[in-house]
Structure 1
Amino acid sequence: MLPEKLSNGLCSLQPGVPRRAITCEMVIDRHGARSDIRVYPSLIRSAARLTYVQVQRLIDGDEGAVPGQPASVGRHAIDASRVLRRRRFGLGSLDLEIAEAAVVIDASGAPLDVVARAPIEAHHVIEDLMIAANESVAEHLLERDLAGVYRVHPPPAQEKWTRLQNWGKRFGLSLQMTDCSNPGNMADFVEHLKLTPQAEAGQMLLLRSLAQAYYSPQVAMHFGLASQAYAHFTSPIRRYPDLLVHRALWNHWRGKASLRGLDDLAKHCSETERRALQAERDVTQFAACLVARRHQGEEMSARITGVHAAGLFVRPDDLFAEGLIPIASLGERTGEY
């Protein structure tokens, strides 16, 4: 993230304040297909700064949640989001329903609880429009043979796909699909999985079976989104690859030379992203440990989330965090799973 003076000030949209931007304009038909894509420098004056809660209230029919013209624009955005999403899932994009951990803190910053955070439709509206813009800009770069950075998500390794299929067969999900490079096959597996009592555990297993996404100057499929060309464009104040894409566009418009050293930059961005994600996980786990310590000695119900030679991974029903029960502590007790 850029320094706050930039990310939340000079480079951030403020209601009524002109801001230089790059606009990605497109026509979205009722089937979610994109056409007439234009990418160009612009000057934007934001009409309002809305919260996800406000947009969700608008979605739920609260006419007073968003006043005036922003409400009309918001309704069009909601309609566009729904057809884009329907089309994307129809093409094989993965629709995983996995809650994320959210740390609840007090005024001093001390953790009070770790809870499950499930997305609301307002989150999906932003996500769908950003994905449409990112795909459109990636196509724009390719059509003009511009040097840029793409987001690549390879298909799962065949052995992991086979292991996942074998796991599914134990619960009646005998999908005879051998082509793991087709995202539609994985998407079908997910939809069947959601209808079973093992949906939560199965989706976590599936998530762990997926390859890790990375950045590259060479375009390739984004498996999870079922996209043939994808770039990160919409968040230049918090992701350096987006800034590289913006620079590539500006260099083209200004007649400057293409960006150089993109292989090294893409590799650096991929490595930095992994470190940032690990740091986020470490902070969340540390907060969960602080919260769990207050319950030390209590007996509580929990769900087994993983089985390992070292023991059982479990998640208490009242705490959205995982912990390990060492195999040695189980003694002579046995169980079936």
Structure 2
Amino acid sequence: MSKNLSKKDKRKVRLDSLPSRDELIAHIREKDGPSIRRDIARTFGVRGAERAKLRRMLIELENDGLIARSNKQKWSPSDRLPPVTVLVVYDIDEDGYPLVKPVNWDEGKPYPFIELKTGSKNVKAPGLGDRILCRLQPNGEQTYKAILMRHVSKDAKEIIGIFRETNEGGLLESIDRRNSKDIFISDNHKGDAKDGELIKVGLIPGKHYGMSRAKVIKPICDASSSGAISMIAIHESDIPFEFSEPLLSATEKLEQPKNIARKDYRDVPLITIDGTNARDFDDAVFAEPDKSADNPDGWHLIVAIADVSWFVRPDSILDREAYKRGNSVYFPDRVVPMLPPALSNNLCSLLPNQERACLAVDLWITKTGVLLSHKFQRAIIKSFGRFNYEQVENIYNGAPSPIPRSHIDNLYMAFKSLSHERKNRGTLELDLPETKIVLERQGNVKSINTIKRLDSHRLIEEFMITANIAAGTELTRLNKPAIFRIHDEPDKEKLEVLRRVLAEFKTNLPKSKIYRASDFNTLLTKLKKHPNSQLINELILRSQSRAEYSPQNIGHFGLNIRKYAHFTSPIRRYADLLVHRSLIRGLGLEKTCKDEEKLAENTIDSFIKIGEHISATDRRAVNAERNANDRYTAAFLSRYLGELFTGVISGVTKAGLFIRLDKIGAEGFVPASRLTGNRYVFDSKKYTLSNKQLGIKHRLGEKVEIRIIEANGIKSSSIFEINNDDKSIQRQRKKTKKSYRKIKKK
């Protein structure tokens, strides 16, 4: 600082050294541990009298819930919400209560439980999409009571519903029973909509007397048609599902590479193994004993993956569309592909007896499944056959085979070696049934079946995981920006919730600073014969973090793998296409393709942005698939209205109970309003719903008998009521009396 500055100027310079609120918060969040006030002052060059102002700033941030004080001088990031904040209504529960979350909430974290009260009769109850200013009162860990102060604004909202023609104009009939209010559509705003059609509308902003108003954006399909359910999921999740004419035209000139030096694997008996109804075949496998004397009883594997990067060039019209979609989305009645059919079902599909361009990886593993080495190369293959899982399993067990049996036997023996390594590695082994919705030709649900998991399923899974490990290892060695599949360790708050819930099952989750996947396996093995084993598996799954895509590799917690990248499905995942490009570029494999332009190199910043986008499209696909499956399940249950089923309580909320039916595996909801009596109290720590007056306490894992009272596929409603509630009351009262007698004797 210059000596010629006046005292006033010097004071101004010192004032400028005070950090802004955002700078303070960023600094505290970047620290691994608590930030000491003295160190904060030193970092920002705050001196003298300005230290008092810094202290006041820290206290203000604490009062706003943005940072927390661990003692008088130490500050840490805070998960506590500020006392006054803006919330948005993201859903309406089964009883019509608005469910709210903070605006700009990190979608990777579970929402805090916020109980909303309107506070005044003069304040209108908020609807879906409303933003509201609320005063929050902490009511336990990540639990709040919210007093509605005023409405702020309404999110621009597009809604799906059924168009109904009336004498006064059109109505949008809700397809969500939790938000059942009809919306008025004037003749000027109905467009080409016809009675009974599914339509997408946009809400018309402004104050309206009576019903809200909307304008038809576009008709979708007949609400009674076989494809209506999946179309609802597609439109509600804003999934792109149509390919433009220019894009389809771009595929017409594409063809397999010719006269280009590639590894010739056409004589290698590579085969594809997929589900019975699979439409795209992007991986082929082969195994043989390793002939090297340095690897006794070891194996040589080949995993050949469709070379999508040959056809989809960076920043081409195909590439931009694939990036936008992020991944393919799978519904019971259709697939919304990432790539147009000319690629996904033909040029990039490893069809039997057809020459196809691949990016192959040779893998050498020991007899105990340890990956010794690998080699990536561009190749050309000719698949020896298209097999399904059941067919391969039957051949291994003695059924006739269209190819030499030794090819199948080798695959299984290599798989056993890989299984040995998987066990040693300590991969998280959840045992959860997978269901499949089977449709009739007309599109109605024929059955909901539990998929029997075969060794052939596990075989392909282990071959693909090993190829992905090789890809992650190679990308790390190349030391260039790339996309990894990462899975963080479980969040401490989620583990605390899991610990409390397991305690209700008389099960202890040991406290530990560092958890490994194998720790959960030990617990699951111990509880394998527990009557609520399936629910415990589900609870452990819920406690895990969500896997994501990122150039910042932190490893994969669930698989217990340090270097892991998705390599095996570039037809249906944009991440895998990026991994292929990174490998081809890093290994110089484009040099073998004379007519091919150099692959563009992404920067770390661009990969961060891409990773966030494809992680979001991945979540979008999962949510859309779950949405459709829930509606199909409700449609299936509609034929059993009034009938009794047994089930288990799989979820407890203030609004009611989620019940998973035995055998079928379908899940429905018992609203609190349909439970015997009223005044039920929700315990957010133990996940129970209790009525002290009647001596009833509903908890996770409780066996119940229910009656289906409402089921509608289009409206996604599966509503149950507990049939044995009266018996449950008597049982609970007996327990209460026994406990009281014991206390009295003491």
Alignment of 1:80-95 (within 5 A): 80-95=414-429
Deviation readout 1:196-224 (Å, 9 max, x if unpaired): 22210100111111111100012111111
1:243 positional shift: 0.5
Secondary structure at the aligned position of 1:301 is classed as strand
Aligned to 1:38: 375
Match of 2:637 among 270, 284, 292: 292
Considering fraction of residues, name the structure with more helix.
Answer: 1
106-115 vs 241-250, which moves further: 106-115
Equivalent AA in structure 1 for residue 392 of structure 2: V
1:27 positional shift: 1.1
Aligned to 1:239: 573
Is 1:269 matched with 2:605? Answer: no
The answer (yes or no) to whether the contact 1:89–1:95 under 8 Å persists in 2 is no
The answer (yes or no) to whether the contact 1:94–1:224 under 8 Å persists in 2 is yes
* Alignment partners' CA distance in 2, 1:297 and 1:307: 23
The answer (yes or no) to whether the contact 1:114–1:287 under 8 Å persists in 2 is no
Instruction: Identify if the C-alpha distance between structure 1 residues 276 and 102 changes in structure 2 by more than 3 Å, giving closer, same or farther.
Output: same
The answer (yes or no) to whether the contact 1:180–1:186 under 8 Å persists in 2 is no
* Alignment partners' CA distance in 1, 2:698 and 2:349: 54
* Alignment partners' CA distance in 1, 2:390 and 2:612: 37
Aligned to 1:194: 528
261-270 vs 190-199, which moves further: 190-199
Match of 2:492 among 122, 145, 158: 158
Given the two structures, how large is their TM-score scaled by the length of structure 1?
A: 0.93
Match of 1:50 among 382, 387, 406: 387
Aligned to 2:551: 217
1:331 positional shift: 1.4
Aligned to 1:309: 654
1:76 positional shift: 1.5
Is 1:148 matched with 2:482? Answer: yes
Secondary structure at the aligned position of 1:297 is classed as coil
Equivalent AA in structure 2 for residue 36 of structure 1: S
Is 1:62 matched with 2:407? Answer: no
1:181 positional shift: 3.9
* Alignment partners' CA distance in 2, 1:63 and 1:230: 36
Given the two structures, how large is their TM-score scaled by the length of structure 2?
A: 0.43
Deviation readout 1:259-292 (Å, 9 max, x if unpaired): 2421111111100011111110011000011111
Match of 2:347 among 1, 10, 13: 10
Is 1:259 matched with 2:587? Answer: no
1:42 positional shift: 1.1
1:108 positional shift: 1.6
157-166 vs 217-226, which moves further: 157-166
* Alignment partners' CA distance in 1, 2:481 and 2:427: 26
Equivalent AA in structure 2 for residue 89 of structure 1: K
Q: Would you say how many aligned residue pairs link Structure 1 and Structure 2?
A: 334
Aligned to 1:205: 539
1:111 positional shift: 1.5
86-95 vs 29-38, which moves further: 86-95
Instruction: Identify if the C-alpha distance between structure 1 residues 321 and 63 changes in structure 2 by more than 3 Å, giving closer, same or farther.
Output: closer
RMSD: 1.9
* Alignment partners' CA distance in 1, 2:698 and 2:634: 28
Is 1:116 matched with 2:450? Answer: yes
Instruction: Identify if the C-alpha distance between structure 1 residues 23 and 216 changes in structure 2 by more than 3 Å, giving closer, same or farther.
Output: same
1:190 positional shift: 2.3
Instruction: Identify if the C-alpha distance between structure 1 residues 103 and 63 changes in structure 2 by more than 3 Å, giving closer, same or farther.
Output: closer
* Alignment partners' CA distance in 2, 1:19 and 1:73: 21
* Alignment partners' CA distance in 1, 2:383 and 2:555: 34
Instruction: Identify if the C-alpha distance between structure 1 residues 114 and 212 changes in structure 2 by more than 3 Å, giving closer, same or farther.
Output: same
1:51 positional shift: 1.1
Equivalent AA in structure 2 for residue 268 of structure 1: H
Deviation readout 1:290-329 (Å, 9 max, x if unpaired): 1111111222222221222211111222532111101221
* Alignment partners' CA distance in 2, 1:147 and 1:284: 37
Aligned to 2:313: none
Aligned to 2:440: 106
Secondary structure at the aligned position of 1:43 is classed as strand
* Alignment partners' CA distance in 2, 1:21 and 1:317: 44
Larger relative contact order (CA 8 Å, sep ≥ 6):
1
Secondary structure at the aligned position of 2:386 is classed as coil
* Alignment partners' CA distance in 2, 1:28 and 1:283: 41
Aligned to 2:225: none
* Alignment partners' CA distance in 2, 1:38 and 1:5: 30
* Structure 2 residues without counterparts, runs of 5 or longer: 1-336, 592-597, 678-693, 700-746
Aligned to 1:27: 364
Aligned to 1:73: 407
Secondary structure at the aligned position of 2:644 is classed as coil
278-287 vs 29-38, which moves further: 29-38
1:7 positional shift: 1.3
1:182 positional shift: 2.2
Instruction: Identify if the C-alpha distance between structure 1 residues 318 and 172 changes in structure 2 by more than 3 Å, giving closer, same or farther.
Output: closer
1:63 positional shift: 4.2
The answer (yes or no) to whether the contact 1:134–1:233 under 8 Å persists in 2 is yes
1:151 positional shift: 0.3
* Alignment partners' CA distance in 1, 2:502 and 2:671: 27
Aligned to 2:464: 130
Equivalent AA in structure 2 for residue 197 of structure 1: P
Secondary structure at the aligned position of 1:300 is classed as strand
1:169 positional shift: 4.2
Considering fraction of residues, name the structure with more strand.
Answer: 2
Equivalent AA in structure 1 for residue 372 of structure 2: S
* Alignment partners' CA distance in 2, 1:226 and 1:177: 20
Identity %: 32
* Structure 1 residues without counterparts, runs of 5 or longer: none
Larger radius of gyration: 2
Equivalent AA in structure 2 for residue 258 of structure 1: E
